[in-house]
Chains A and B, each alone.
Chain A
């Protein structure tokens, strides 16, 4: 389970929704690794509504959301010889979106997020997180 910051706290089963444009979904309906932002992956908290409510707040170019339960987010990533990374989920409401949060990636021992320099580490974080996202399409998208 990842670390978390902010209040109210995330429950293990609380869903987080990542907004997805069409390029970030493959032909099998899976989330592509490219959707994961190593500078901080923006998500909406399930506490403020389900996938369709999240999509209603998004622009028309967002065709789906990828859902993951807070407790299913990988807590740690190892790709030796690179330093290990951990996930930290931060609740950061922003103007116009009280549900906004970020999944951040912190190098072990650091006190804030850092984008990994190692390409294998970058790829591993993206792959592991993307593989856990379950796609919910916009009900009126027709895709």
Chain B
């Protein structure tokens, strides 16, 4: 695997792209290999950026598997079990919990499946909450500006809600599980890329 959590590339990574062959072993975040190409290594996310110094618009990003994507499937993180347990406990809310309809068994199962699928994509759920009129909300981004969550209704329907800025309206998409995970992952990845570039 080309990635190690120390922030260093564990073994040389051979990059073959657009006819360019280059070997990278450095942990530096900005290294030079030759006069024509600039390589920006973002080791924490396993990305290598290549840009032609004569033509800055030619930026190319090569993405290597992240740590979460390469972790052994038999070693789930501790937080995952805790998150699944917290979701299971939503079936035992007290009678006067503040909402009119408790989360259904179906909503809990779908929420747990989403949390597991998102974990396989390297994304940790920040929190979950019972929706007051039935269902469960799973929160993945809750910055001051940006927001991303799943709303799962008591029939198991999934709504993806994303907002990229405080002045930008929230975008909603009703999607099946696989597409919902892909949609939210894309949103989070885009934010990560924008932060890295900034």
Contacts and interface: CB of A to CB of B under 8 A. Distances in A.
A81 B131 CA distance: 24
Nearest to A25: B129
A98 B98 CA distance: 17
A126 to B, nearest CB: 8
For the side of the interface on B, what is the size category?
20 to 34
Nearest to B137: A34
Contact of A38 (B94, B129, B133): B133
B131 A34 contact: yes
A54 B127 CA distance: 26
For the side of the interface on A, what is the size category?
20 to 34
B129 A119 contact: no
Contacts of B153: 119
Q: State the main secondary structure of chain A at its contact with B.
A: mixed
A21 B139 contact: no
Contact of A21 (B98, B131, B144, B161): B98
Interface string A108-135: 0000000100011011101100000000
- Closest CB pairs A-B (n = 9): A37-B132, A23-B129, A34-B129, A34-B137, A39-B100, A34-B131, A38-B133, A119-B159, A120-B172
Given A26-B139, A33-B131, 5 more contacts: A20-B98, A24-B129, A27-B126, A37-B133, A119-B172
Interface of A: 19-21, 23-24, 26-28, 32-42, 59, 61-62, 115, 119-120, 122-124, 126-127
